[in-house]
Chains A and B, each alone.
Chain A
């Protein structure tokens, strides 16, 4: 006798119905084609979730009703459903329609149902209006593409491209920046390539070194120059050789090492423009 009463109690304990709060669409004034949004909040027992496979599928529920979409937001112990219905009932006079409840299942096997709701569908046209071809609303107008955004994007990217191109030309001392005072080696390398005669070439490179050092650079000042401009350190040996060759040619004292002024000026120019 005792265990019989236990059996009766058992399902009530195991299947405590979760609490449901609904935010139904307004009950009146819905036209053909209107979208009705229904929000349902469910408080679930801990550890229980809503079985997604049991949710109603978006479909034509009836000849006058579509379920457009169903969206489930789930947090621990709480589920929030958004159902978007669409009314396709063409009413001749205001008419109350009943949206049916939908059965769903929880992960612990409990069956429950999402509540339905009722709304009044209203007619769109007067019932006395004719349904002649003249009453048919005409085809939609042709529509051109709005080009403003693409045109603006083209203008902006063209301007950006031009700005970057000018910036590169400035760093590389390209025309019209080819006479930039801050690029003495670049200018010297270009003129040395045209000059004939080692004396003229040496002279041009000396002027460039002077300009880079901000005062006259003689062979004794070379370590000071390299300390101030460490980026030219890799060319230290060749610069030293150039000065010794220059001194030899000018004073005729020492044995002159063979240094190519053209190659040296070109390498100095490359370092100056950040190419090496």
Chain B
């Protein structure tokens, strides 16, 4: 009986000790990440931990997008893939805004042919933001604004107006003498 009690207590000590270490690591990570987010918000570039929280990755994408370093944001986006939808949506929104600003710069410089691809890229990033979170109202407004600049036009389809997915599938070849692929 006493041995059982002692064994149960030892097990409880192991479990509570492990959860203490685990949650201690989580709290330490939160402190580090929140410090990084504050620094990024104040405009200091800081490196992130290897397994940084999605909030910290979101902050770094915002930091980079504001400074037009869009190539680096593309590397960070996959690390947000399994994070919260609203963080992913905001990150795409910030990238799209950066494209829009660059598009406006081209428009002010009078080079509309350079502005069009930027606005198109902004539109697809706004769409990504809305795919992540359909209720992101800011993304809706800015996407509509971008659509006013460069309208979406129907894609030319090879034959007919129907979506190719909706055409009946041709599963069997038209080889003569091979009805439905049978020998």
Residues of chain A at the chain B interface (Cβ within 8 Å): 31-35, 56-57, 59, 61-64, 66, 68, 86, 88-90, 100-103, 111, 123-125, 131, 133, 135-140, 142-145, 147, 150-151, 153-154, 157-158, 160-161, 163-165, 167-168, 171, 231, 271-276
Contacts and interface: CB of A to CB of B under 8 A. Distances in A.
Nearest to A53: B169
A142 B41 contact: yes
B33 interface: yes
Interface string B1-36: 111111001101100110110111011001101100
Given A133-B104, A143-B87, A168 B13 contact: yes
Given A137-B142, A147-B30, 15 more contacts: A33-B136, A33-B139, A56-B166, A57-B165, A59-B165, A86-B134, A88-B143, A101-B166, A139-B94, A140-B94, A167-B9, A168-B13, A171-B2, A231-B2, A274-B5
Minimum-distance CB pairs A-B, first 9:
A274-B2, A90-B147, A33-B130, A274-B6, A160-B16, A140-B90, A157-B19, A142-B41, A153-B23
Contacts, number: 173
Interface in B88-135: 90, 93-94, 97, 100-101, 104, 127, 130-131, 134
A209 to B, nearest CB: 18
A45 to B, nearest CB: 22
What DSSP secondary structure best describes chain B's contact surface? helix
B122 to A, nearest CB: 10
A142 B59 CA distance: 6
B152 A88 contact: yes
Contact of B138 (A59, A86, A140, A145): A140
Contact of B152 (A90, A147, A164): A90
A49 B9 CA distance: 55
B9 A164 contact: yes
A100 B157 CA distance: 15
Contact of A100 (B9, B55, B166): B166
B13 A165 contact: yes
A157 B157 CA distance: 62
B76 interface: no
A111 B6 CA distance: 68
B54 to A, nearest CB: 9
A161 B100 CA distance: 54
B6 A33 contact: no
B82 to A, nearest CB: 16
B111 to A, nearest CB: 16
A64 B163 contact: no
A107 to B, nearest CB: 15
A145 B131 contact: no
A103 B134 CA distance: 27
A271 B16 CA distance: 26
A124 B130 CA distance: 15
30 contacts: A32-B143, A33-B140, A88-B143, A90-B151, A90-B152, A100-B162, A103-B166, A124-B140, A124-B141, A125-B141, A125-B144, A136-B101, A137-B97, A137-B141, A139-B94, A140-B93, A142-B41, A143-B90, A144-B37, A144-B55, A147-B31, A150-B27, A154-B24, A160-B16, A161-B20, A164-B16, A165-B13, A274-B1, A274-B2, A275-B3
